[in-house]
Amino acid sequence: MAKVLGESGRYVSQEAANQSRRIILLVVIVVSVLGMIEGFVLSSFIPSGALPAWVRSLILIAVLMGMLILSKWASKNSGLWKGNGLPCAVVPPAKRLSEQF
């Protein structure tokens, strides 16, 4: 595989990983802004004072638990951002190539 890709292939895979990180960051920012807007709209319909304190606390705990679960899942799968998942997808097609290519 190093014969086919070499140093330039490593650079291309790093750039692809960087670009996917930028796309994910943009998606997270857009979803966060839209979530804030939706929160403001919903809070105008359901005043927080109308909910009992235990319901507000339950919602807060559920949101924090969801964030913790997502954080653990993302850290477990963080190898994909470093390019560790790339060779699995590239090696089978690269083996089918002839040596002259």
Residues 88, 90, 95: CA angle, nearest 5 degrees: 105
How remote is the C-alpha of 99 from its chain's centroid? 37
Give Cα 15 distance to the centre of its chain.
17
* Domain edges within the chain: 6-96
Global pTM? 0.47
Per-residue confidence in pLDDT tens, the chain, 101 aa: 444 456 666 677 788 888 888 898 899 899 999 988 988 888 788 777 778 889 889 988 998 898 889 888 877 776 655 555 545 555 555 556 666 55
DSSP single-letter state for residue 1: -
